[in-house]
Structures are given as structure tokens and as C-alpha cells.
Amino acid sequence: MDLKSHRFISYFEPEQAAQLCKLAALENFPDGAVIFEEGEIPDFLYLVLRGQVTFSKRIGPERYQTVAVAWENDFFGEFGVLDGQPRSARAVAFKEAILAKIPRDKLMEILQNVKGSVVLNLFGYIIQHLRVTTEQYVNQIVHKEKMALVGEMVNTIMHDFKGPFTGIQLASSMLRDLHPDEETAEWCDLIQMQSQRMLAMADEVLEFARGTSILKKEPINLERLIQKFEKLNRIYFDSASVKFSTQVENVEIMADENKLLRVLQNLINNAVEAFENRGGRIELVVRAFEEWAEIKISDNGPGIPEAIWERLFEPFVTYGKRGGTGLGTAIAKSIIDAHGGEISFHSQSGEGTTFYIRLPLMKTVMPKNTQTDIRGELNSTGQVFA
Ligand SMILES: Nc1ncnc2c1ncn2[C@@H]1O[C@H](COP(=O)(O)OP(=O)(O)O)[C@@H](O)[C@H]1O
Ligand SMILES: [Mg+2]
């Protein structure tokens, strides 16, 4: 955008606006460039003409927490300019940014002589930003506390939880040895697989609460993966009177198999739960496109309540069910994000729900183990303080 039409300049009378435009120096900041550091003495006010700027506070050695983002037409650095105190956060260009820098001393001179209405405009903007940033900050803290609490809770129950499963696994393998016929072996395998999945689920929640996840990426044939998924769920579907059908193209992707199974399981559990024992149909379709594989999961259930459409993928968003954790779709999204994919849905009341997952096709060789924060970045508000 053009400097003259920037929001900050428009607060001033024409004469002062022209003066400010003259004083402002335009500077280009490439993606990732530090504009100022936390603790620095402020010497400029910055107007964003293009790109974005993120603000982060140091929370440990080499660790920063993003607290806000400034967009085109925002300005930042006004706190330091007004009270002369050190910068309260570090500012970094996100995508290439073009900023107009106005020197603090000159700006203060102009501000000494402005009309009350200019000051009121400025005040209004600053206060509104402060409110939103504070609210966002409090939400982040509450969110973190919740996550820590879940982590603690899961940690405590994990130990007791694992005990009985060791017993179940031992018993089923003994049963397999005592009755070496094919059918018993198959059922025992199923018991083993399912109890292992239960353990994996507990680990998954723990991982989510911790906020990190190691992706063990390897070449995955989606056809085989879906077959495995179907086998794991056969009894579950039968007992819930669910007709599960698939249509799968032969596609290979680089992915973490267990994590992908988790995504399918979370989404399909939701569909089955939505049927509320009345039974229903779930269809899973896998198709290959030029650059990605698409997994489409459709059900003919009641549809996702409109009240949670916007927040569905956020943690702890649950609706109309007893004992819902609200983590299923959040975990699914974080896993898909960590794979460089996308997840979205379409839902219509009374007609059903379709989830669309896109994952990059196997083309280039990717690192085998990638460390990713599966909770993703905390939301930014587009609000600024510095
Ligand atoms: N296929 C679906 N059909 C109907 N409602 C759904 C479906 N998938 C998700 N939902 C709704 O979205 C909510 C959030 O799902 P999720 O994140 O898995 O948490 P939880 O299942 O623990 O509530 C569910 O409580 C449910 O109301
Ligand atoms: Mg769920």
C-alpha cells in the first residue's frame, strides 16, 4: 500500500501528514529479518506497507513464543516510542515486508502539537489493540494450562492403563498357543492388534498434550493401509451396524503409518458415534491427483452441528456427546499438517459429513524422521504490541 493512505498517517491533519510522510524512511525486510530485539531501546515507529511482521517473546534460550502479528496498514512500536521503555518483544519480518520508519524524536515533536482528535484516534487504536492482544494472551495461557493438565492426567493414568493390557496380550498369545487352529489365531491376532492400538492411543494423547511428535515417515501404500484399517475395525463396524465401503486407487505416499491410521480412526469413530447405534454408511475413497493423494471419508449421519464448524479442529471442541474429549479432529489436523497436507470438511444437517484429506504424493525423498510440533502454532490475532 501507499504510505499516504496508511491508517496512521490518516489520523493527522494534512500538514502534519505531509510532514510525517517526508520523515518516513521506507525499508525492505526480507523474510525472517529481525526488525528489533526484545529489550532494545526504541528509536522508530513502524508502519506496515506490505507483508507481515510477527512479534515474539523469549521464553527460554533460543525459544520464542509468537504473541502477535502485524499486517498491512497496521503500525507497531508505539509503546516504546511513547514511553521510551525497552521493546517488550522481538519483531521479525514474515514474508518480505516493506515498512515505513518514523524516527521517535521527530514524531514526539509532531505529537506535542497535534489536535485532541488526533490523540483520541491514536488512543482508540492502541487501546483496541491492547484489549485484543491481552485477550489473546490470556486465551493462550488458559490453553497451555489445559494442555499441561491433560498431560499430567494422562501421565498418571498411563501406568495403570498399561498393566491390564500386558495381561490381555499375554492371555491371547497363550490362547493362540493352546488352540493353534486358524480361526483362533486370527481372533487372537485381532486382540493383540487392538490392545496395541489402545496403548498407541494413550501415547497419542500424551504426545498431543506434550505438543511434540516424531514423524516416522516411510513409503506407504494407501491400498494396504486401508485394508489393514478395515481389518482392525471389522468387529467394531459390525457391532455398530455400520456399512463400510472403500474405493481405493493404488497410491504411494511418504507418511507415518500409525499416525495416518490414527487420523482415519479419529474421523471414522466420530462418524460411527454420530450414528448413535442406528447404523449407517461410511465410504472411504482414495484418489491420486498430479501432486497429491486425496482421502475422502463420507458418512450419511446427522452432520456436524453448525455451531462448531468454525472451531472444529481446535482442541477440546466437542458437541452433543458424553465423554467427548474434543481432541479427535484436532489430533487429525495436527497430523495432517505435520505431513504437509490439508484437511477440510463439508457437512449438511441431516445428510451427512465428508472429510477431505490431501497428502503430497511420493516424489522427492523426504527426511525419515521429522520433528514437528503437532499442536501447531498458536493462533495470532493480527494485533500488535511492542
Ligand atoms: N462425522 C461426523 N458427524 C457428525 N458430527 C461430527 C462428525 N465428526 C465430528 N463431529 C462433531 O464434532 C465434534 C468434535 O469431534 P472430535 O474433535 O473428534 O471430539 P469428540 O469426538 O471427542 O467430541 C464431535 O463432538 C461431534 O459433535
Ligand atoms: Mg472424536
Task: Please say which residue of 141, 161, 177 terminates a domain.
Answer: 141
Atom of ligand 1 nearest to the CA of 308: 12
Whole-number Å distance between alpha carbons of 19 and 111: 12
**Which CATH number is 290's domain given?**
3.30.565.10
pTM score above 0.85 = no
The set of cell numbers assigned to 250 is 493404488
- Residues 136, 230, single domain; the answer is no
Are residues 237 and 357 located together in one domain of the fold? yes
Q: Cα separation of 228 and 374, whole Å?
A: 24
Of the residues 114, 141, 168, the one at which a domain ends: 141
CATH number, position 51: 2.60.120.10
Q: Do 136 and 235 reside in the same domain of the chain?
A: no
Helix extents (H) in 87-115: 104-112
- Whether 93 and 226 map to the same domain: the answer is no
- Residue 101 belongs to a domain: yes
Q: In b/e form, how buried is each residue of 202-211, taking b as 16+ CB within 10 angstroms? A: bebbbbbbbe
Nearest-ligand number for the alpha carbon of 319:
1
Testing ligand 1's pocket by substitution, the residue of 262, 268, 304 carrying the most ligand atoms inside 8 A of its CB is 304
Please give the number of the atom of ligand 1 that sits closest to the Cα of 327: 17
Which range of residues forms the domain containing residue 114?
A: 3-141
121 CA to middle of ligand 1, Å?
44
- Residue by residue, pLDDT tens for the chain (386 residues) are 999 999 999 999 999 999 999 999 999 999 889 999 999 999 999 999 999 998 888 877 666 777 788 899 999 998 888 888 999 899 999 878 999 999 999 999 999 988 888 889 888 988 988 888 888 778 878 877 876 777 777 777 766 777 788 889 899 999 999 998 999 998 998 888 788 767 766 666 666 665 545 688 899 999 999 999 999 899 889 888 999 999 999 999 999 998 899 899 999 999 999 999 899 999 999 999 988 999 999 999 999 999 999 999 988 898 988 767 788 898 898 889 888 889 999 999 999 999 999 999 875 444 444 444 444 433 333 333 33
Residue at a domain's end among 97, 119, 141 = 141
- For β-strands 213-216 and 352-360, DSSP reports them as unpaired
41 and 130 in a single domain? The answer is: yes
Q: CA 272 → CA 19, 77, 194, distances in Å? A: 66, 52, 17
Count up the domains in the chain and report the number: 2
The reply to whether 229 and 314 lie within a common domain is yes
Same domain, 129 and 32: yes
Residues with CB under 6 A from ligand 1: 266, 270-271, 274, 299, 301-305, 308, 312, 317-321, 324-326, 328-330, 353
Asked if the structure places residue 228 within a domain, the reply is yes
